Amino acid sequence: MYNLQSVVQRLEEEGLRITPSRLAVVAAVLDLSGHFSVDDILSQVPEVGRATVFRTMKLLSEMDVLCRVLLDDGSLRYRVSQRQDHHHHLVCVSCASVQELDACIDPEVLNELARTTGYEIEGHWLEFFGRCTACRSDSA
């Protein structure tokens, strides 16, 4: 679980400078629990330039502070990572809630896939969509 201090420390460890713009962006993303777009952050920190918000969010993604979340329409969002290892998401299609999942592709399936196709498997995208408990009871 990240807070402003721990992210600042991560930035310092990477030899990056702590600037007001970066602090503002980090604080803004840490304030959100679901997924969000760059524009969501931009509207939270209008004093920071657009390019800088993009740059900072890219930085945070590379540092695994943020991860990218794929929506069902194929568009990408961001989210504060709870875990830094490989994982997938279950995204609510009604609200912006996201669950991080333990489940991944069975290694046996990957072997089978490599065997039958002749491909050397390098990676995969796996994201699930559904309606969270709260949204289900809202419309019930």
Partner DNA sequence: TAGATTATTGATACCAAGTATCAATTACAC
Partner DNA sequence: GTGTAATTGATACTTGGTATCAATAATCTA
Between 9 and 111, CB nearer to DNA: 9
From a second copy, DNA, none, interface partner of 133 (C-beta below 5 to 8 A by class): a second copy
Please measure the distance between the N-terminal and C-terminal CA atoms of the chain and give it in whole angstroms: 33
Strand duo 98-101 + 88-92: pairing:
antiparallel
2-31 mask for DNA (x: CB under 7 A)? Answer: ----------x---xxxxxxx---------
- Count the neighbouring beta carbons within 10 Å of the beta carbon of residue 11: 21
The two tokens of residue 133 are 């408990």
Binding site for a second copy (CB under 8 A): 68, 70, 72, 74, 76, 90, 92-93, 99, 101, 103, 106, 109, 112-114, 117-133, 136
Smallest distance from the beta carbon of 89 to a second copy, in angstroms? 10
Contact between 102 and 89 (Cβ < 8 Å): no
Our finding on whether 51 is near DNA (CB under 7 A) is yes
Query: Rounded CA gap, 83 and 110, in Å?
Result: 23
